[in-house]
């Protein structure tokens, strides 16, 4: 019914589709297991004393995907401080994804709303 040449082309085409489906499945499963860890170091000023530390850390810990938040003083007078925040989340694969994680803008808003003056934010990204 079918010629041998057509049968061999059909076999090659089906084999190609099979291999392509396996590769696509592997790629999707491979990205599902990864997490992104982002460390932010945000320097700011205006903290009056060490009693304000817990309030600021608690506010930051309420943000999405935040795993830790610490305030370290950079000057003995407690005027200059460093907010260190760690965030862990799945990678965002779609630019239209509204499920975004905590970023520098969120941290800046908390600092400003708490009465502090944000200075410089440094970001370190690690993919696990």
Convert the pLDDT of each residue in 70-96 to its tens digit.
Answer: 999 887 776 789 999 999 988 766 666
CATH fold of 36-127: Alpha-Beta Plaits (3.30.70)
Distance (Å, whole) CA 78 – CA 62: 24
pLDDT of residue 128: 64
Give pLDDT tens digits for 42-79: 999 988 877 888 999 999 999 999 999 999 988 777 67
pLDDT of residue 86: 94
pLDDT of residue 32: 55
Distance (Å, whole) CA 14 – CA 54: 62
Distance (Å, whole) CA 128 – CA 120: 26
Question: What is the value of pTM for the model shown?
Answer: 0.68
Could you tell me which residues are beta bridge partners of residue 44? 81, 118
Distance (Å, whole) CA 44 – CA 42: 6
Cβ atoms of 47 and 71 closer than 8 Å: yes
pLDDT of residue 106: 93
């Amino acid at each position: 019914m079918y010629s041998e040449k057509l049968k061999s082309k059909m076999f090659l085409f089906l084999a190609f589709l099979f291999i392509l489906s396996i590769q696509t499945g592997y790629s999707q499963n491979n990205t599902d297991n990864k997490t992104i860890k982002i460390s932010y170091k945000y320097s700011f000023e205006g903290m009056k004393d060490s009693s304000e530390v817990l309030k600021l850390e608690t506010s930051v810990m309420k943000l999405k995907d935040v795993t830790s938040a610490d305030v370290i003083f950079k000057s003995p007078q407690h005027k200059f401080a460093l907010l260190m925040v760690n965030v862990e989340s799945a990678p965002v694969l779609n630019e239209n994804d509204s499920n975004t994680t905590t970023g520098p803008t969120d941290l800046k808003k908390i600092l400003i709303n708490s009465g502090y003056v944000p200075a410089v934010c440094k970001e370190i990204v690690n993919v696990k």
